[in-house]
Amino acid sequence: MAETHLDGANTPLAPGQPGAGGLVPVMQRLVAWGPDGNPIVRTTAVFTKQQIGDLQMAAASSLFVDPNDELAIAIGLPPSEFYGMTNLEVMLIKQARYAASSGERDYINDVLDRLQGKAKTTAEVHTTSETYEQFIARIGRAAAAKAKPVNGVHEAAEIIPPAPRAPTLEDL
């Protein structure tokens, strides 16, 4: 019987760990569109969030390999400056050097934040599809909902209906 991520006792191991036969992907059914425009159901292999994290950790902790190091050592020359370091160590050194040489304030702050253990900041992006008039009306309703009464009376805000728009080529 094949191991899956659902088998509690048979948790897949990251490559390189003793007894690891490799990560076992989860099979997921996805709908794709064929060339004729009809939907096609395909079963594809995807990895779980934990498995992706294991792969990232395995890649970051692997030794950095410079193909010129073997040749340099064979002919008696010193290896590269990154010889014996992990991929993560090399990435951190290169990021710090770039930040120092470029002088870009945002990049320097990002590197300093990571060194101080601050979490990476992310921005949320929301996509809406509404007209400008709908957007203004929504803002007006939100402002009216937040309005506080003055002398026990709510101040009424006049909502002006949108002006008729000029005809475009699409209207003709």
CA–CA separation, 26 vs 142, rounded Å? Answer: 45
Name the pTM for this structure: 0.43
Average pLDDT over residues 146-152: 70
Q: Has residue 94 got a pLDDT over 80?
A: yes
* Residue 75 DSSP one-character state: T
Given the structure tokens 């979490």, which residue do they identify?
Answer: 119
CA–CA separation, 172 vs 154, rounded Å? Answer: 45
Band (pLDDT 50/70/90 cuts) for residue 149 is: low
* Residue 110 DSSP one-character state: H
Band (pLDDT 50/70/90 cuts) for residue 160 is: low
pLDDT at residue 154 in the model: 57
pLDDT at residue 106 in the model: 86
pLDDT at residue 25 in the model: 62
Band (pLDDT 50/70/90 cuts) for residue 158 is: low
Tokens of 34: 């064929």
Band (pLDDT 50/70/90 cuts) for residue 20 is: very low
pLDDT at residue 163 in the model: 66
Give the CA distances from residue 135 to residues 118, 132, 138, 162, in Å, rounded to whole numbers and listed in that order. Answer: 36, 5, 5, 11
Q: Has residue 115 got a pLDDT over 70?
A: yes
CA–CA separation, 120 vs 110, rounded Å? Answer: 8
